[in-house]
Structure 1
Amino acid sequence: MALFSRRPKNSDDEPSRPDRDEVTDAASADGASADVAEPDATADPAASVGISMSSYRGLGAAGSAEKPAAAPPAPAVRGEESVSASAETMPGLRDNILLRESLKRMPDQPQPQDLLELARQLLQGHLYLRVKGDARALIAEGKGLPLAVATMGDKKYALAYSSGAALTASVRADGDADTSAVAQSTMSVLRHVLAGDTEGLVLDPASAPARAVIPRALIERMLQSADENLAIKTVLAAPRTEATAAAVVDALTRAPMWVAVNRADENSPFGVAQGRAEDGSRYLEVFSHPLEVAAMRREDRSAPITAAQLAATLAGDEGLTGVLVDPRGPWIRLSRGELAPVLALGE
């Protein structure tokens, strides 16, 4: 928790709240839509969790409802193995590094795939909220910490921040230094957004172009398929230690997970996506959320898989060296030996 000390306001600068002028246009978020089917373990893989991103754009994007031209297929480039960026941009506040860095990569006119990439990184770690007064005192008194809200036209959006730098930019923008910052888990914030009457969440509103709108419809779909504890993603986002592999394997034994499936044509059987290491060894690709599959920019669909089914798959193909978890990054590669607790579930 950090308190911003009060400072004199420059008389030449008119303090402004993040209203329509500050936050610019969110027309593109108004018509956003998502299609994420509920996982059905008994359904054909082609009918399982699919994600369609048609009109998600970020803050300040053109308000046209016209669907952007489909981008050419991109190679499934593996992401970074672990988080390596600096953890703090403001002393005493640990940034949500993955979300912060993803926001930095946001273009002035975000396309659907940009919001898809951002949404998957949002599903881990924490967010910061700005609270009027002393958050510590409010918590001690048992009072709630309502989300700050920005009004855009006749719609309201909740505000949250990925880093100390984003908080500082917000204080500079509105001139209200009599506020404090409090960290809350991402899942708590997203649930709070859905419990209210806002149309979605604005991330880092004063940090253009490193800011974005996450529409309510997308948040609903994100939470429908999310592990309540985000067990896999939380371990992968943390600093790597000798215990990381065992922690991921433990999460795989109890957390929901998905594989990427596809077929050459409607008459062909479905195949499950695999990755190859530099030495040619094969690894089954496993994902912590359907968004991770969609972010690979392939034509694959996501299909739920249980730990017992994963064990059976590995047992049925001795040529598989192990699994590759969340290849878009942060990722980890696990050998059969490390996967012993998972393999035991299939015996």
Structure 2
Amino acid sequence: MILRKVKGSTTSQLHQAPTIGLVLDFFNPRILEGVHAFLEQYDLRLDARWSVRGDWTPKEPGWDGVIYGVVDNPELHQRIQQWNIPKISLTAEKADECSVLPDYVQCGMMAARELVDAGAASLFTVTLTPREIDTQFAQGVTEFARSHEIPHHQRRIKMPSLKKMQQLLLREVNSLPRPLGFCQPHASVFYSTQPVLIDAGYRIPEDVSMVVIDKDVQSTPSLATVPLTTVELNEWHRGFVAAEMLHQLLNGETLTQKQLIIPAKGITQRASTGHLRIEDQVVGKALSFMRQNFRRPIGVDDIVAVAGTSRRTAENRFRETFNLGIHQELTRLRIEEAKRQLSQRDVSVTTVAGRCGFSSVHYFSTAFKRETGQSPKSYQLGAK
């Protein structure tokens, strides 16, 4: 029998309602909201007092059931296992019989696709822990890279000191071809690494683009030096489904599936993959398309078509925002990329012209000399 919320219940009746605890050692407000949204439909109370500091839970909380997510506290996890009440886990531990988890493999595939769509020619991912969020995310990146024949590099490293991690990642990026798409689940890693890459002369996103999973209540992705594009987990839905499963257990029902995987919601694009927060949608569309495709032989007409307005309107709005024309910005992006490629010893001027979207080597040489004051060959010899 399903317990339904009874309208007009007295205060004493409400206080006798079954109580569900929510215990987290990594606070997630969206999960809390999803759990509450389900429970309020029925005569079930939510005790979320330990959803911020799960380690403060009493040994015997007196609940009728619990939803818990323990990321890094074995003692707390062991304590919860000793409670003789129905349980639904939000993490994947061997002792957890019933769980609701994010689809981290899908997250990795979404991140890889976003990076490739943004112009990455190769992919790089790092696994820092043996947890599912690291291993399954890397699995998703690998599956996408293999199925789309994209060069892919994966590195497993233990969680070192912050400075050691920065040095290791800089060394890895130095050894890999560019433009490089760098993805891993933890925003804090890129928050710490971006300044080191920038100091070393890397441009984000032109040289190294980045995608992470958005799971930080501290808004780390948006506060990074270059705001980070993120894969958005559907955490509200995960909380709702966990509460629904626990409700079934409380009613003596048998779960048809003891582990459910919740797909991600989508991608929030930010500057780390070339997407700027520009209020003028025409300018934003034009710039985003340009940064993703400038290595191809596109022209101003192609950019204007994506912007969805007349050429005159697009040009005027672009100049108003950046104080230069669409063609000027397109050429600037191509010249900057050409400079980077010409610094390599084993590439010809003709090859660089083709790789950077120029229609001919003659046009490339003319534009390069106009912008830099020297020919591409002279620049290449000087770079050596």
TM exceeding 0.5: no
User: More strand per residue: 1 or 2?
Assistant: 1
Query: What is the TM-score normalised by the length of structure 1?
Result: 0.24
The structure whose RCO (Cα within 8 Å, separation 6+) is larger is 1
Query: What is the TM-score normalised by the length of structure 2?
Result: 0.22
User: More helix per residue: 1 or 2?
Assistant: 2
